[in-house]
A and B are shown apart, each in its own frame.
Chain A
């Protein structure tokens, strides 16, 4: 199994600012994933964070808005840049271990005012 710690758990931010979310895993994993869950919606994959290479973004998400770092096999950050109220969501970090289930952090609840 894997235990994922996300920080911060919640934040209220002013529009136009940026927030960096941290994700720490208790074991080494090849791929980490970042999801967004808008209010009342399902989870949408933002990007896959690979160690040692640039993140792979899904359609509709761009690096300038959601820059991702992956400095080692247990850590990743997601930055939400130049925030607007539409960015108010829960952001979740996830890892998937071979031959087992995916594991999710508890999420970061972001409110942009």
Chain B
């Protein structure tokens, strides 16, 4: 069975600083991996996805993530944080098919300091 672990339930960075949100996965088959963002009282929005093509995936709003099989990681980064990036971020995995059920990590709340 697949699972994801997000390290750090809360991350706080200064505006303009690097954003790094950590995600490690476990899957018995090649995974599909996702990062979703949820703004307060809003629905889920897909930031980016890895589906076995390029290991460096670029998403919306300047975010990107790198799939590292050797480390079973899929960390999310953004070079320069903006106040509007404050939200809850979820890493998720599905088992080798984008049409499979998706299992979510526990989430990381990102705060941005002025």
Chain A residues within CB distance 8 Å of chain B: 30-31, 33, 35, 41-45, 48, 92, 94, 96-102, 104-107
Contacts and interface: CB of A to CB of B under 8 A. Distances in A.
B98 A102 contact: yes
Contacts of A42: 90, 104-107
Interface of B: 34, 43-44, 46, 49, 51, 90, 94, 97-107
A100 B104 contact: no
> What 7 pairs between A and B have smallest CB-CB spacing?
A43-B104, A96-B99, A42-B107, A98-B99, A106-B43, A104-B44, A42-B104
A104 B43 contact: yes
Nearest to A109: B41
B30 to A, nearest CB: 14
Contact of B102 (A30, A94, A97, A106): A94
A45 B3 CA distance: 12
A9 B39 CA distance: 17
12 contacts: A30-B99, A31-B100, A33-B102, A35-B104, A42-B106, A44-B104, A45-B104, A98-B98, A99-B98, A101-B49, A102-B98, A104-B43
Given A45-B101, A104-B43, 15 more contacts: A41-B106, A41-B107, A42-B90, A42-B106, A42-B107, A43-B44, A44-B104, A92-B43, A96-B101, A98-B98, A99-B51, A101-B98, A102-B46, A102-B102, A106-B43
